[in-house]
Amino acid sequence: MTQESQDPLTSSLSHVTEGVDGPRARMVDVSHKHETHREATARAIVEFPEGLLGGILREGGPKGPVLEVARIAGVGAAKQTGLLIPLCHPLGLDGVDVEIRQVDENRLEVLCTAVCTGRTGVEMEAMTGASVAALTLYDMTKALSKGITIQRVELLAKSGGKSGPWKREG
C-alpha cells in the first residue's frame, strides 16, 4: 500500500500499521532509541465500607497479612506487564516498590514505582503493579464485604525518555 492511500488515522498511530486486510496492531520497534533512566509512579485507591478498614489494619484479613500479600502481588505484576498487556515491551526492571498507606478511615492508597534503564517507559509497569496490588487487597478481604471498590487507577509521575518528565497536577 502506498503512503498516499494509507488511512490518515492509522498512519498517525504508533501501534497500528496498514496490513493487506486493513489496519493491524503491532509492537513498536524501539531498537533505534537510546537507553535512558526511566521511572514512573502510579496510584490506585481502594475504598472499604464504613467501619471495615480499621479492623483489617488492626487484626488482619481472613486470608492472612493483607498488606504484605498485596505488596508482593504488585511487585510481581509489574514484572509481568509485558506478558499481560499485549503491545507492551518486556522490560528488565531495575526496581519496583509498592507502598500501601491509609488515606482516611475507609480508604487505602496503593503507590507503585517502577524503575529501569531502557528504551521505553515504565508507566504501564507502575500502573499494572498498582492495579494488581489493589485487586489483591480486594481478594484478601472480599469475605468481609463485597462492597469494597477500586477507584482512580492513574499515573502520578514519569521521567526519562524523549518526552521528559511529567507530573499529574493536584
Q: Could you say which of 21, 29, 94, 139 is catalytic?
A: 139
Q: Going edge to edge, which strands form the sheet with 95-104? A: 95-104, 107-118, 36-47, 149-159, 166-167
29 is catalytic: no
Beta bridge partners of 18: 23
Residue numbers annotated as active site: 139
